[in-house]
Amino acid sequence: MLPRCLGKSSSLEMLALTYNSFHGDIPPFCANKNSLKLVMLGYNRLQGKLPRSMADCTRLEFLHIGHNQINDIFPSWLGVLPVLRGLILGSNAFHGIIGKPPTDHEFPNLCIIDLSNNLFSGMLPSKYMENWNFMKYVVANEGSRYFEVLSTVSSTNKGGDYYQHSYEMIVPVKGVELKYDKTPYDLRIIDFSSNRFEGEIPASIIGSLRALHLLNLSKNALSGHIPSSLGNLTTLESLDLSQNKLSGMIPGSLAQLTFLGYFNVSYNHLWGPIPLGHQFGTFLEDSYQGNSGLCGELLSKKCEGSKSSRPSPPSSLEEDEEAGFPFEFDWYVVLPGVVSGLIVGVVAGNTLADKKREWFAEKFSRRRKPTTTRATRGRRT
């Protein structure tokens, strides 16, 4: 178990204990307003709940407790931390609905959030997402700047030595787990995959997070359409919406995401042609499997009529159905007219045939009489 004294130090800045076999509860931290900036407890066997005293860690920038056995609700009380940039809670037993934030200023500096592989339910936390301003604005190129902590270590040298510790993390990027030994400072990630979220993707809110690099909403129960506002996320590199209940067409606006290197919408209820151009010429058919209604030049199922990304016009049957009139209803209207017309046609035809027969007989008899007279006169002569 973790020693209880860890949380009592007023000078402790970094606590990195990942990839061990620690178990039991997490001891209280920051009870004495200490200077913790980094807490890395991931990949252990820790249990229980998060200590509420962490809300007093006002200098905390990065909290990683992923891949443990924490059984708790969403820690909304961490939203008061003024400089928290990374929150990794993935692969635990967090559960419940993520409701509305108590204020409009929760998690003001959040750049990376991982809630994947938990038991969260209800709608996506759109009200929290509205507050994540650092995901809305594309920052200038930070160069080689990373998440890190600089600490002064006393020594015999005048002024002391500086110790640098970078934040490492593993995230699923472009379909594979990518390990960052040094986490880039400008990285923006939302990973809500493998939970029980339902309802629609909030179009206006998700479209405002223009600085996102990775968005993973896969393996939930999300429904509705794919928002065309995702086309606003011009820095997006990885988008995974697979294994949900999404319907409709893939928005053509996604074709303008020129940095998109990974795209997956497999196993939904999508239909229509896939977008054309830019990165969409590089994605494999696996990205679309499980959607029997999709078609495209890169798929085994081709779209009818043209190579364009526009859907083919609906058939007359589809138009009738969309208008609310079943196709069978037309037969009930047409059939009496067809039968009546057939009867009238038969009667009229018989009448005309009789009249023509009489006319023909009359004509024929007139032509025969003069011939008979001439023959008789000839015999007399």
pLDDT at residue 4 in the model: 87
Write out residues in the chain with pLDDT < 50, as ranges.
154-158, 306-335, 338-339, 344, 347, 356, 359-361, 363-381
- Tell me the HSE value of 222 on the side-chain side, using a 13 A CA sphere: 31
Q: Where are the domains of the chain?
A: 73-313, 318-381
pLDDT digits (tens, 9 = 90+) for 36-50: 888 999 999 999 999
| Contact (Cβ atoms closer than 8 angstroms) between residue 271 and residue 249 | yes
Distances in Å between the alpha carbon of 156 and those of 150, 159, 161, 347?
19, 9, 9, 122
pLDDT at residue 363 in the model: 46
| Exposure string over 330-369, b if 16+ CB within 10 A, otherwise e | eeeeeeeeeeeeeeeeeeeeeeeeeeeeeeeeeeeeeeee
pLDDT at residue 339 in the model: 46
pLDDT at residue 7 in the model: 76
pLDDT digits (tens, 9 = 90+) for 218-277: 999 999 999 999 999 999 999 999 999 999 999 999 999 999 999 999 999 999 999 988
pLDDT at residue 147 in the model: 59
Class of domain 73-313: alpha beta
Residue where the block lists tokens 């939970």: 195
pLDDT at residue 115 in the model: 96
| Contact (Cβ atoms closer than 8 angstroms) between residue 236 and residue 217 | no
Distances in Å between the alpha carbon of 351 and those of 206, 218, 343, 354, 357?
76, 74, 12, 5, 10
